Each structure stands twice: as structure tokens, then as C-alpha cells.
Structure 1
Amino acid sequence: MQITNNSKSGSFRGMLAAACIALSASVTGFAADASANTLVAVPHSGLRILDPIITTAHIVRNHGYMIYDTLLALDADFKVQPQMASYTVSDDGLTYTFILRDGLKWHDGAPVTAEDCIASIERWGKRDTSGQVLFDKLESLTANGEKEFVFKLKEPFSYLPETLAKPSSVVPFMMPKRIAATPADTAITEFIGSGPFRFVTEEYQPGVKSVYEKFADYVPRSEAPSWLAGGKVVKVDRVEWTAMPDAQTAMNAIQSGEIDYLEAPPIDLLPLVEGNDELTVKRLSPLGSQTMGRMNFLYPPFDNKKIRQAALKAMNQKDVLDAFIGNPEYYTICGAFFGCGTPFESSAGSESLTGSGDVEGAKALLKEAGYDGTPVVILQPTDVTTTKAQPVVAANALRAAGFTVELQPMDWQTVVTRRASQKPIAEGGWNMFFTNWIVPEIMTPLNNPMLNGRGKNGFFGWATDEKMEALRAKYIAAKTAQEQKAAADELQAHAMDEVSYVPLGQYNVPSVWRNVLTGPLESPVPVFWNIEKTED
């Protein structure tokens, strides 16, 4: 067995460079009876939603990388690289001209055009936190022929390339214009991309099985693959994702050779595979992920700031992480909204979270706020190992502080669907849910989706917070690293006071795969290009 823990650092906008670290990784294949040209993997969740723009769910993002492509991408040195397009910038920083590379086709055979990309960017910009900022600064976005399009800005926005190269939620994937014309709050119904795999719609079983075939007309870039940049060379004919909600079943399957890759094994079961010489167990990022709880600001009781503060005081990270991960080797107590080990790390306001909680303080705040026993409805996923424990631990902590709590069990894909509802609780709404983020997608005030004060146009929970938006603008306008850090520190203190969300610590879960696989890449998301599978 091979056990490794690799990381790289590079330069990504100066300060960020030192802190971003390669995260999750290789993906694989499987099935003992499958040919060497078929990879079968067990992802962290079943796939029920297929539109990667309307949700931040990682399983949907991973699906997006299979069939769609991006204009730009980050490499392993955290530098922006051309992917579908290259670009130039005018001397005044107000005009960005993009030119599509040759050979780009949609899976239905049509050529990729500038108009397709414009429609895709416009739809994405309505949903993504950083995309919304980009469009605030945009004067126009127009096509100049079939392969060229131009951003004209009202004021310089040097983050534009990084915004289009963002590796995770919400990724600006390119789609045909007819599909991208779908309203941003409505799920697409056709799944045509220009990426290295095509989606086999006729074999799709929601929540159970997803199938991808090599796209024969995909022309990879000539550069070596690096993170999400470079050549996406597909070396298998077919990739299958199969859901295995039962962790023990999945562990048995990876050992027996029924599957080749297990994305997120439970930590307590890792001893079952650590002695198997046919398997690799690998952690790819010391930064890992952040787990967190998000409240709904639209309805009681969490429309009341003091009640949100009481909930935060009631909880503590150690209890959550002990139940969720168990082994302290794989988790870190961390009160930083932007993650620990990052340039913008700050512990301001997190004392109770990183300590043992403050139940008496929570009780006092509930009394002061006049809490009337309104139930807190918590969405409780039961089928994903990385989100099962948090709601249960939080519910117990809230009850100890005097909250009335209703846990509502459901599968994760139902959580992903339901959390998008802005309806009142009595009509199928919710008060709180828990999820996880890879650290690179929450480590700056620009890209952290939860630190968005745009109300119903923001992230699920829909906080309206003008001061937060002003602090994000202050960060974006900062001219030096010191000014950026000062703005981020202000935002940390403000967000903790408002309880924009509850950061519950960092963790790092290794993946497991069979050694019949070669060529898996370090990446912030699981990717399937560059991987070969040999016969057992």
C-alpha cells in the first residue's frame, strides 16, 4: 500500500499563492468484470441534479467537469492558464479580448462560438458570487465574429481572469447558446458540452448511476496536464459512477476489485484498507475542506440576529469534528471563515466555537431575544458520510441551549434540491443545513459563496447585508496585500457578529483506489482525464 500526503505551493495573486494547496484528486475506474477501458468509481454522493450552474453541490460540479469545459483554468502553481480561449488586456485594464482556440466542438457536432460563450457567462454571472461582482463592473460583453468576444469594463477589475478560472462552485462552464439561454433559476434539460467526455443520457439513473463516454472529437491542449489546466487527454472509453450509500459495502467493493476508486471513505473504516497492497490511500491537500452550518435568514427564528448568535454559542467544533471525523489526525479546529493556513486566516469572534461552546451565553441570548420556541427545522442527509453527523450534533447542542429542533431526514440530493427553496417553513422550507467546501473555494472575500449580502440573489440562506457587500468591495479595491488582509479581517469580524454562517472546522479525508490505475492527477476536484486502467 502507498500512503502519501503531497502538496504544492505557487503564486496565485501574490498572497494566495503561498496558501492554496492541491486538493482532492485522482479518479479512477472499476468493476472486476469491466474492460480495462471502463473506469467505475463510487463518488461521495449520488447524482440527481445535472445543472452545475443552479447549485454549488460538489457532485454536480464534478459532473460538470466531465462534460463541459472552461475558458481559463488554474494550474498546479495556481496560475491562470488558457483552456478554451486565450485573452489579451488593454493598457488601461478596461478591455479583455478572448479568442477561442481551434477545434472546439459541442457534443452534437456544432462548433463552439463566441455567442455560446457569452450566453454561458451571462447565465453563470447571475448565480455565482464572484460572477455577480464581475457583472457589477461590466459595461458590455459582445461578440466580434465567430471566435472572438470582448469584455468592456466600467472600471478596472484585475480579478477577471481568476474569476473565469475559478476551480469550484460555481464554475463558469461553457454551454451551447440554446441551453445557456435557460433562465438562471431554472434547471437545464439538455446536457451538451464540449468537454472530454459526453454524458450518456439514456443510461442515467438519478441518484444511482451516471455514465460518461470519451468524446472522440475533443481536441486536448498540447500542454501537459496540471490541476485543471493543460491537456485533458482521455485514456479510457467509458467512466461509470455508481452510488453506494452504505460505507461498509463500498469498502468491501474496493477491496474485492468490484470498484477501482472510492472518493470519500469514512475515516473509521480506513484501517480496513490500509493493509491492502493492491490499494493506494492518499491525501492530496493539507488544507482540505471546511465543514459549516448555514441558516435561513428569511424566516423565524434565524431572521433574528441574537437568535443566530445564540445558535453559534451553543455549538463547538470539537464535538462536531469528533462525531464527523473522529481521528484528530484528519481534522483541525479552525475558526477562520477563510480557512486556516491561508493568507486571510483570522480567529476573530470564534472563541466559543473553537473552545467548548457557551451554552449559558446561548440561553441568555435566547431569553434576551424573546425566543418563543419556534422550531428550528434542520435538513439531515442520511446517505453521505461527509454530511451525516453534523446535523445530529448541532441539534443536540441547540436543544441543550433551549431551542426546539426538528431534524428532517432525507438523502443528500433532496437536501440540495430543498435548500434552494425560499418558501416558508410550513410550505417545505428550512431553517438550517450543513455542507462542506474545499478550502480554495472559500479562502477569499471574493470567492467565498456564503459571504454574500445580496439577499435573494445570494447563496442559499439569502442574507441581506449591505455592510458585507461594502467590505467585499473594499477587499476588491485594495492595492496591497496589507490592505487586502485588513479588509478580510474586518469581514471576518463582521460575518462572525452577523453569524453569516457557522464554520465548524477543517478536515482532510483521503481517497482510496486500486493500483490498476495510473496517471491520476492532483486537482482541486476529482478528474478522470490522464488516467489509464490496466487489467488486474
Structure 2
Amino acid sequence: MTRSRLVAALFGTTALLLAAGAQAQPAPKNVLRIAPHADLKTLDPVAASIVITRMHGLMIYETLFAWDANLQPKPQMVESFSTSDDKLSWTFTLRPGLKFHDGQSVTTRDVIASLARWMKRDTIGGKLGEYTEGMEAKDERTFVLKLKRPMALVPFALGSAVGQIPVIMREADAATDPMKPVTETIGSGPFRFNRAEWRSGAKVVYDKNPDYVPRSEPADGLAGGRIVKVDRVEWLIMPDAATAAAALQTGEIDIWEQPSQDLIPVVAAARDVKVERYSNLANQVMLRPNSLHPPFDNPKARLALAYATDQAEFLAGGFGDEDWWKRCAAYFICGGPNGTEAGTEGYSKPDLEKAKQLLAEAGYKGEKLVLTTSNDIAAIGRMAEVAAAQLKKVGINVDVQFSDWGTVTTRQQNKSPPDQGGWNLFVTYASGATMQSPMTNIGTNMACEKAWAGWPCDAEAEKLRGAVVDAPDDAARKAAVEALHKRLAEVQPYRVLGQFEQPYARRSTVSGVLAAPVMLFWNVEKK
């Protein structure tokens, strides 16, 4: 049986089974049901940069600013702000009436503690922290951010929706160890986390926050009025793609956040189903090495990954039809404002002998290397297998270890040697909004222990990244990005594996999904 016929058969059988359930228990119209791409394991969006945790974080928390559909920062929790003439003091006043879900008012004490914690964890937060002299509360609603030197990107940073996001928590939660995830879920956002109905591996529930007062501006990306138009949002965890596809057709779910590329033609042809994009930039795929341990503590071994791998094989394995993917060696996304490929010309095609040479020069002698991955996100699991096959061609002894996605992301934070619970490699992908800027690209932060999982360390790259921030105008910033990219191509914090488009699928009864870095559910209506 061909793959397409097998998919259709699985789809049809599952659809009949779910149709019976749908007819027996019709879904209430005020409950929006989603099949997300992964299960929710980590509740703290400052501790984890993974998409599912960011989606969760932006449901229940808010940030001082928010990015619109064009990734431009707009005030969110902030009512007004100003800068001093020397650009070293930024004064912010919070909107009146902001309240946490437990009834406490949001104050500048909460804000300062939250920002201080975020600056210790996030890529752009860490950069803002380098520029920050201090923060001072003037009263309950007004505080001052004092800088050591001017930084024009302050509102952009404070509205970040990528990496570890600068959500505002209660002071008591934010004052905890930034290296340990907060387990409380008390925010001030438009939804409340329903912990009583949370079933790990099965269901995550959010209820409308009746005390939330949205901004008056129209919704635009993550900015503007966050008006909730349903009473409840349920994430129904469906690791099996055929089950999710069938559930969408029968109305068991209203939105499939990341439909499998295999099933997109089937889903798109289904009655009352629409397949659409919700992001303006493609996603980036990466092979991330651990720079703490041999052999990838040596940049020659990391560069060997570039010569050993063929982007097309990864992308075809993960996402199927080439209509949905393209080769690209730009760390900052082809098609984005910083999409240069400078310095990558030498390994546009695999060179296995060069890869073997670099590995030998790095001192690699065939030791077992652990590649941690999961089939919970099917494309990632398939690409991990492609990675193992390609790396074995250059003599790398790859041990692929599968587990659930939550375990993989937890293990990614483990700095221990691979034989003590750590790792050497993983395959993942990130949104174009995350990767398009040197300030938000989590993988190109090479600030050693302050970097994202993998912890690459390169003083020259960090100096050049700082030059991007300090650039006085667009021309200087473009030149700084080019110089930075050439350095990244040499030291390879990760192997860029190209980029792909990820649509979502919805029932025709659903409308109002906003273009944003991650999918959120305010403004969404269900007929």
C-alpha cells in the first residue's frame, strides 16, 4: 500500500470512530479545543524557551510591551513611557487596574523582580542586563530603568515573545532562583490556568479571566486588546497525527496547531476545514551540539557537522514535499531583515572527507555521542534519524536516545557529561521570529554559561553581537550583522539545517487567529 493510501485509510478509520463520539457528545460552542504540537511539561516561560511553554506563558502572563504582527513593540502593561535626553534613563508607568489572578495588584516591585530574573536567563534579556545600571521603583505604578550606555532596543526587548520571555510574575515567584523553574501559575493575563483539570499527557485547560481589562487598541499580533471571546480553551494532547486529523474533521477539536506535513493535503481537502499560515517568517531547523563536552567543545568538530550534513535530506525527512521547505544557511533566516549567508559558501554541499579531517583534528576517536530526541514531535524524531545516518558516514558513533518531548527538553538543560544524564546533540526547530535577529536568536548567543542549552563560548562572536546593538544606523547595523555572521560560520554554535513553513488547520466555524510568533487564543471566535 502506498504511503498516501495508508494515511487515507488511517484517517478514514479514525474519523469514523471519532465521529461517533462527536455525535454522542457535541462540543459546547464556548469551549475552544486545540490539538497543540506537544504536551505541556514546564510551566515557567522564563525557565524554558520551548514553544509550548511560551504559548502557555502568554496565555496567563503579560509583558510590559508586546510585538505586533510586524514584530514592532507596542505598550501592553505599560500605560506611558519616556526617555531622558541622554537616553540613559527610561521611565515607565503601568496601566491602572492590573491584577494578578489571586486578586493582588501588579506593582513595580513585581516588575523589577521579574525583569531581574529574566535578564539572568534570556538571550536578549541578558544583553539588556549588560547595559543596565539598575532599576528603581518611584511608586506602585512607575519605575525607572537606568542604563550604563544607550540602547535603542529597550521596548523591543521588553516585548520579546521569543526565547525566555519577560513575563511579569508576582514578586515572591520572581525572587526565586532563576535556574529553578517556578511552579506557580499566577499571572495577570487574559486566561487563568486551571490546575485542577490539568492532566499531563492528556489535557491542559485555561479559563477566561473575568477580571482582565484589555487595552482599547485593536488586536495586532501580540499587541493591542487581548479580548477573550470564549469561556474556556482546552489543549487536547494528540501525539498521533491521524487521530488529530480525524478529530479536526469531526469537530472534536477546532484547531490543529501544527498539522503533520504528510496529512496537510488530506486535511486541506476535508469539508469545513481551512489550512492557513499564522506567521510571516519561516521556521528554522538546527542540529545543536553541546559545546561543554568533547568533541564539540572544539569548533573544528562543530564545523565538521556543516560539512557532514545535507539540508535537503533533513528537510525532506522532516517535512516531506519541497513546497514547504527550502535550503538556507542564514542564521538569521532567509527572507528576514538580517538574512545574510555570508561565510557559509564553503559548505553549501556536503564534503565528507573534509568533515572526517576536521573531526580528527578535533581529537575525535569514535567515542559514543548521545543524540537525545523524541517522536512526540514527529518531524524532529525523523530528522534525528537522518542526523544519525548522515553522521555515521563520517565515522561518528551516534547513540540515538528517544524519550517523550518533556524529558528531552528537561535533559537539554543538563550540563553533566552524556554518560551521566547529559547529551551531545539534538535536532530541533525554532520560529522565524525567534531566529531573525542577533538579539533574539537563542542559538547564536555564545556567552558561555549565559547561552542557551549547548552553551557555546566565543568572545569574538559576542563582541560582534554587541556591535549590532551599538550600531548607530541601519547601514552600520547591516555591516555589523555581516561581520557577525561570518564569525558564526567559522565557529558554528549550531548547524543550520534550512527552513520550513508550518501552517495550522482550523474548522471553518473558527475565526480571528492572529499572525504572531506563537499561536494564541484571544480574539478567536467560535460560531
Same fold by TM (over 0.5)?
Answer: yes
Aligned: 1:464 with 2:457:
yes
CA distance in 2, matches of 1:518, 1:398: 45
User: Could you tell me which residue of structure 2 aligns to residue 173 of structure 1?
Assistant: 167
CA distance in 1, matches of 2:71, 2:252: 36
On the 8 A contact 1:43/1:262 being kept in 2, the answer is yes
- Aligned to 1:405, what secondary structure does the other structure show? strand
Q: Which of 221, 241, 252 is the equivalent residue of 1:227?
A: 221
- Pairs within 5 Å for 1:284-299: 284-285=278-279, 287-299=281-293
Match of residue 496 from structure 2: 503
- Aligned pair 1:411/2:404, yes or no? yes
**TM-score, length-normalised on structure 2?**
0.93
CA contact (8 A) 2:123 2:163 kept: no
> Contact 2:302–2:494 (CA<8 Å) still a contact in 1?
no
Query: Match of 1:459, as an amino acid?
Result: W
Q: Displacement, 1:370? A: 3.4
The one-letter code of the counterpart of 2:138 is N
2:204 to 202, 210, 215: 210
Structure 1 partner of 2:11: none
Write the distance in 2 (CA, Å) between the matches of 1:92 and 1:360.
55
- State the distance in 2 between where 1:509 and 1:436 align: 11
User: Aligned letter for 1:70?
Assistant: T
5+ residue gaps, structure 2: 1-20
Which one of 124, 132, 135 corresponds to residue 118 of structure 2?
A: 124
Question: How far has the Cα of 1:353 moved from its partner?
Answer: 5.2
Alignment match of 1:244 (pick from 238, 247, 272): 238
Range that drifts further, 498-507 or 453-462:
453-462
Q: Is the 8 A contact 2:126 2:450 kept in 1?
A: no
Task: Decide whether aligned partners of structure 1 residues 151 and 369 sit closer, same or farther in structure 2, where only a CA change above 3 A counts.
Answer: closer
Equivalent positions of 1:52-63 (< 5 A) are 52-63=45-56
Q: How does 1:273-292 map to 2 (within 5 A)?
A: 273-285=267-279, 287-292=281-286
Which is richer in helix?
A: 2
1:87 matched residue in structure 2 = 81
Which residue identity lines up with residue 376 of structure 1 in the other structure?
Answer: L
CA contact (8 A) 1:317 1:353 kept: no
The CA RMSD over aligned residues, in Å, is: 1.5
> What is the distance in 2 between the residues matched to 1:353 and 1:46?
36
Which SS does the other structure have where 1:212 is aligned? strand
Structure 1: 5+ residue stretches without partners: 1-29
Contact 1:106 1:192 in 2 (8 A): yes
In 1, the alpha carbon distance for the partners of 2:424 and 2:279 equals 32
Shift of 1:253: 0.9
**2:296 aligned partner:** 302
SS of 1:117's partner is helix
Q: Counterparts of 1:348-359 in structure 2 under 5 Å? A: 348-351=342-345, 354-355=348-349, 357-359=350-352
Report SS of the residue matched to 1:379: strand
1:353–1:533 Cα change, 3 Å:
farther
1:520 partner letter: V
1:64 to 2:57 alignment = yes
Q: CA deviation at 1:234?
A: 0.6
Residue identity opposite 1:425 in structure 2: P
Within the candidate set 25, 44, 56, 2:37 is matched to 44
Hey, what's the Cα distance between the residues in 1 that align with 2:519 and 2:275?
A: 15
Matches within 5 A, 1:76-475: 76-85=69-78, 86-285=80-279, 287-351=281-345, 354-355=348-349, 357-475=350-468
State the alpha-carbon separation in 1 of the partners of residues 513 and 181 from structure 2: 32
The separation in 2 between residues aligned to 1:262 and 1:275, in whole angstroms, is 15
Shift of 1:421: 0.5
Name the SS for the 2:189 alignment partner.
coil
Query: Is the 1:338–1:442 contact (alpha carbons within 8 Å) kept by the matching residues of 2?
Result: yes
In 2, the alpha carbon distance for the partners of 1:311 and 1:157 equals 35
Between the two proteins, the alignment pairs up a number of residues equal to 504
CA distance in 2, matches of 1:368, 1:197: 54
Q: Is the 8 A contact 1:45 1:412 kept in 2?
A: yes
Please tell me whether the aligned partners of residues 276 and 503 of structure 2 are also in contact (alpha carbons under 8 angstroms): yes
Question: How far does residue 76 in structure 1 lie from its aligned partner after superposition?
Answer: 2.5
Instruction: Tell me: CA distance 1:330–1:353, structure 2 relative to 1, closer, same or farther (3 Å).
Output: farther
Contact 1:317 1:354 in 2 (8 A): no
Q: 1:527 Cα shift?
A: 1.0
- Measure the CA separation in 1 of the matches of 2:247 and 2:345: 42
One-letter amino acid matched to 1:223: E
Q: Is the partner of 1:491 in helix, strand or coil?
A: helix
Residue 528 in structure 1 maps to residue 521 in structure 2 = yes
Q: In structure 2, what residue type is equivalent to 1:178?
A: A
Are the counterparts in 2 of residues 316 and 353 from structure 1 also a CA contact under 8 Å? no
Distance 1:104 1:445 in 2: 32
Bigger RCO of structures 1 and 2 (CA < 8 A, at least 6 apart) = 1
Partner amino acid for 1:467?
E
Post-superposition Cα deviations, 1:104-127, rounded to whole Å, max 9, x if no partner, equal 100001111110011110111100
Asked whether 1:484 is paired with 2:477, we answer yes
> 1:222: how far off?
0.8
Q: 1:179 to 1:219 in 2, by over 3 A?
A: same
Structure 1 counterpart SS, 2:136: strand
